[in-house]
Amino acid sequence: MKGHLSVNQPFIIDHQKVNVRVKGINRLSIPGSFKVLLKNGETVIASRAMAQPGDPAKVDECVKHPLVDFDFELPVTAIFGNRLNIEVEPVNRSVHGRVMPPKLLGNPTINIRFLLQEV
């Protein structure tokens, strides 16, 4: 399954699965590795983790690419009619606690799209 195909390639839409992208998390304020939780209200429906140095703002590669995206392939039923939100849990909880304050994450967005299948 893909989110995009060439216009020359015949395809069908998979109406049972979607890709949910959490886009544009500013990782520079997150101390070290972290996990992004995609939630339906209070229930975690998916998660992804990212390993990074303890102080990413001091690492050239992190500074060059401060915004990160996370993709979740899910059944439509997991998101349809539900209230989605995210939480970012740092491994190092001594600085910000269990969940990163949203104001430190920049202005991330959630994008949802159907997946395409080549025929």
Tens digit of each residue's pLDDT (9 = 90 or more) over 10-19: 888 888 999 9
In eight-state DSSP terms, residue 42 is T
On the question of pLDDT at 118 being above 90, the answer is: no
Assigned token pair, 58:
């001091």
* Domain boundaries, given as residue ranges, for the chain: 11-118
Tens digit of each residue's pLDDT (9 = 90 or more) over 32-47: 999 999 999 899 999 9
Question: If one looks up domain 11-118 in CATH, what number appears?
Answer: 2.60.310
Q: What is the 3-state secondary structure (H, E, C) of 76-110?
A: HHHHCCCCEEEEEEECCCCCCCCCCCHHHHCCCEE
Confidence (pLDDT) at 14: 83
- Local structure of 16: helix, strand or coil: strand
Classify the C-alpha dihedral 45-84-116-26 as positive or negative: negative
- Give the residue-averaged pLDDT of 74-93: 93
> What is the reported pTM?
0.89
Average pLDDT, the chain: 93
* 49 close to 35: Cβ distance less than 8 angstroms: yes
- Give the residue-averaged pLDDT of 71-79: 94
Count of all residues that appear for the chain in the document: 119
Confidence (pLDDT) at 1: 64
Confidence (pLDDT) at 5: 75
